[in-house]
Amino acid sequence: MSVTAPPTQGVPLAAVLARADLGLRQIAGPAAAAVLVHGAHTSELTDPEPYLLGGELLLTAGVHAPAAPVAGHDEEHAGYFEEYAERVARGGAVALGFGVTPVFDTVPPELVTACERRGIPLVEVPPRTTFSGIARAVWELMAQARNAELRRVTEAQQALASAAARPDPLPSVLRQLAQRTGGFAVVVTPEGDEPHHAGTRPAGAVSEALAELTAVVRPHATHLFPTPSSAADTVGGTHLSAYALQPGGALGLATRTRSPGDHTIAGAAVVLLSLLTGEHRSTGGTRRAATLVDLLLGADRAQAATDLLGADTTWRVVHARPLTPRPAPDLATPLISTSTGDSLTRALVPADQDVAAHTGHVLGVSAPALARDLPLADAQAAHALTRARATRSPLAHHRPDDTPAPTLAALSDKPALLETLRTWLSLHGSWESTALALAIHRNTVRQRITRCGTLLEADLDDPDTRMELWFALRGAR
């Protein structure tokens, strides 16, 4: 069974072991520096596999295990830990932490052998260390790693923007991209030439695979179907990525490692390189590059958007949010951005391009808009996404009657729902307090609030929506 770790910022197990306040000690398995932990989970189940997402440091005190033999080696005891270690491995846990109290005085040697055989790092947890303390330490380290990654992405985007303003913008942007991702970057023309590259070119099969990958995203007259906007592969331990450039060509990227922020950094480079490569095909290229730099440094957004995208071209704004942690949807455009904090993806697509539903995502789509009206289209897409989530639809388009503030018309003839909503909002969304105030069961409160959200086509998890509804309720009263 193959288990994929969740798309969160992982931290080396070695960093967890280095916390002196925990006092952890590795006693089996591979080197901790090479193991990435994506969370901590405590379980005393004989079979924890169904409850693991993959990537966890699994913590147990052995409550589920049979009692240790009084003396000597016990086949049944050893067989149990062999099966248990196998289930842990199948569940995708990257390490196992074993507490030596209150059930066992030491880590069972049979478990040490089983973990060593399966390559599972086994960590001894001393009596004074709580599992909740370990979990908190893991999340603190993950938060620190995520903040460091956000700083790295921000600094890289600023460096790319500065590179685009240099006298030699194309090679400068490529050099910054290669440096910030620690790899090799190359621009490929629609004809397959490589006029610019930076970093150390990979050799042999890896270089050939990167060339094939860039060919996948380059438009060809012989293609019967539209080419994808991006493609990825791994060859010989090297991560390969290719991105389509507008109006043609591709960006190829080869790195030994792949960090969560690399896709965002590459996305910024794609936008810049699309403008810069277009410079060689149109007389306005230099002005567009300068406009982009001005925008990044605080110029008027509406004017900059018109200069970059054209005064007469119409666009749609798309907002997409995943139902479960997963990569951003492929919206067939290089003008795309994903927020690391809340996983919201925003994209610009030509108005004549169809936007289809994507499995595992909820999408909101604006009405067609000129470049100067993109802020309004952005708000339309946000409200369409809210309506899609409230009605449990995979895709919602802006409607002319969409308004930022929800109304209470749908509840006007449902006094029980209206009073439940009023009470729930006044008690800051507390299920227990609302149930007590109305003398009903908390499950009834949940059902009524869910019904309110559906009838109002509003996302009641959104604090802005709650505020607007509260003011509407006060006004109605």
First vs last C-alpha separation in the chain: 58
Backbone angles phi, psi at 61, to 5 degrees: -105, 5
Q: Identify the three-state secondary structure at position 366.
A: coil
Answer whether 377's CB lies under 8 Å from 385's CB: no
Length in residues, the chain: 477
Strand, helix or coil at 363? Answer: strand
pLDDT at 283: 44
373 DSSP assignment: G
Asked whether 320 and 363 are in contact (CB, 8 A), the reply is yes
Cα 71 versus chain centre, distance: 51
| Structural element, H or E, at residue 34 | none
The answer to whether residues 9 and 28 touch, using CB atoms and an 8 Å cutoff, is no
Q: What is the pLDDT of residues 237-276, one digit of tens each?
A: 899 999 988 777 899 999 988 887 888 898 889 888 888 8
How large a percentage of the chain has pLDDT more than 70? 86
What Cα–Cα distance (Å) separates residue 222 from each residue in 191, 242, 247?
13, 20, 17
Confidence of residue 391 (pLDDT cuts 50, 70, 90): confident
How confident is the model over 308-328, as a mean pLDDT? 81
Q: Which of 112, 141, 143 is nearest to 14 (CA)?
A: 141
Residue 460 has pLDDT above 90, yes or no: no
Tell me the pLDDT band of 288, cut-offs 50, 70 and 90: low
Q: Given a cut of 60, is residue 4 above it in pLDDT?
A: no
Of the listed ranges 3-12, 49-58, 310-319, the least confidently predicted one is 3-12
Cα four-point dihedral sign 450, 456, 457, 463: negative
Go through 265-285 and write b for each residue having 16 or more CB atoms within 10 A of its CB, e for each that does not.
Answer: bbbbbbbbbbbbbbbeeeeeb
Cα–Cα distance, 112 to 117 (Å, whole number): 9
Say what the pTM is. 0.52
Torsion angle of C-alpha atoms 405, 408, 409, 412, degrees rounded to 10: -170
Higher-pLDDT residue of 277, 108: 108
Q: Would you give the DSSP letter of residue 362?
A: E
Contact criterion met (CB below 8 Å) for 146 and 9: yes
Closest CA to 363 of 321, 334, 327, 335: 321
- The residues near 266 (Cβ < 8 Å, ≥ 6 apart) are 177, 181, 241, 243, 251, 253
Question: What angle (nearest 5°) sits at the alpha carbon of residue 398, between those of residues 412 and 422?
Answer: 25
CB–CB of 107/116 below 8 Å? no
- 69: pLDDT confidence band, cut at 50, 70 and 90? low
State which H helix or E strand residue 349 sits in.
Answer: strand 345-350
Calculate the CA 196 to chain-centre distance.
31
Q: Which two tokens stand for residue 250?
A: 């591709």
Position 282 confidence tier, pLDDT thresholds 50, 70, 90: very low
Q: Is the CB of residue 29 less than 8 Å from the CB of residue 122?
A: yes
Q: By C-alpha distance, which of 333, 383, 386, 327 is closest to 358?
A: 327
pLDDT at 405 over 60: no
Residue matched to tokens 């590059």: 289
- Which stretches within 26-182 are classed as H helix? 75-91, 109-118, 131-164, 169-181
Mean of the pLDDT values across residues 23-34?
93
CB 217 within 8 A of CB 241: no
Encoding tokens for residue 102? 């209150």
Roughly what angle, to the nearest 10 degrees, separates helices 262-278 and 285-296?
140
Amino acid, res. 336: I
Burial classification of residue 234, based on how many CB atoms lie within 10 Å of its CB (0-12 exposed, 13-18 middle, 19 or more buried): exposed
Give residue 248's Cα distance to chain centre: 28
Strand partners, 251: 187, 243
More confident residue, 161 or 71: 161
